[in-house]
Structure 1
């Protein structure tokens, strides 16, 4: 599953393997992967949170697999003469720049390893070619209802998930431009959150305090109610501690990129999607499996060297 997830990241960015001036860590047919190029793509994936950072500072096998997957696909796309329009490249590039601009923290991390605008734009073009290659492959695959039902019957656990219902009070640490406030302001806001938590521990009404203090105005007007959600629906820094709460339990202060959260769990349940509800999801899973098998065949027919 890890490998499938990494292949899915091709929609974000892929790595360009040309002009290797540093030590080579792998060779894919005639294309070398340098340590410098590896560091750039690894920093991107770490900074955006799509891969958990490896504290060992060595080569992360998941990232290396991702790089190789995309390179063998790109090479085959070149053999098939797949091309993309400049306007699509420019549009995707501008979207990526806006994403980076909105998060100065990981933009700084990318600057440290030389991930500049020129590098990103060249990767966007390559990424779109790989995405088009994958799309072309999948549209020629037919999945019948029997395959879908068989998959559902054999993988029912994949379609059952835990959901919780919770209420929150958010004390935001972002200013009007969505930038993080300075450390002195953050400390004052944390003190404010701790004061509210103390009120709740003294049995003051959660809904009333949410309406008065929460910076999440959407849930605040409803007494902080967030409705039902799964772990995948929200930020992992938020859901990890929330899903450890018992029903009616109050959390400690939870810090995320948005600020300080105080959460009360109000309900939990297991939800299993029906076959009919799962059909499109299953079709995509099977298509991704077939695409992975196709990539494996490119591995076997190519010459991959890890140094």
Structure 2
């Protein structure tokens, strides 16, 4: 909810201001969308500081094109909510408007803010209402129908069991250095009982040193063949001799080994549910927006085509 309110604050800061004809960038069934609305939408797509840094004219227009498309989509959703008679909770609207008002230190500061942008409190509440209606109709048309129950989830898992097979994997503790003499010194320390994690942290010369040499689990086929071949023949807890691979000298300890296996349903259930529901929601939204656009009169009044270079 805080994220929604933050977006609304941004929208209110820029939108609903008075506009001239040249400020209108699009119309949706006669409703105007202004340049101020567009700038806010661009900010949501890419941070303002980044937008002005090394952005070509073609990229800039692509950002605007994407922003206008999103503005049009939101307006279509809002209009559909009105058509379907969806009502916003007035108490929640009042509460959000009051929370917005509390951002200002004094009543005078709040009033000055409204006057500068030619806003009224009713206009502020109207913007909150619009966002709430979009959220409500999105929940009704996208979120709720996209829910997947446990039976559907289990059926998908069983029907696609091959997707959940995991290859054999190894977890190593690894030390790599450029000089063979240094590798020999490290190996001698290990033979004398020094801790490989500590030695990896202080003496290794690769990125794994910050984790004490811990590579995490690496699937078979995803490490250098010589390291993998050595690891596959080791026992858990065993430390290798020095291995020369691509100009570096390695010492590895096999911390753990997992055989090829199928990830259990209970282990993947939460992640799988989110993935499937997200996919279903994306498809539902695309279908809904396409249907709304097919019935709407949409006018894009801003030139978004890249300028052709002169001959």
TM-score, normalization by structure 1? 0.46
Superposition TM-score, scaled by structure 2 size: 0.45
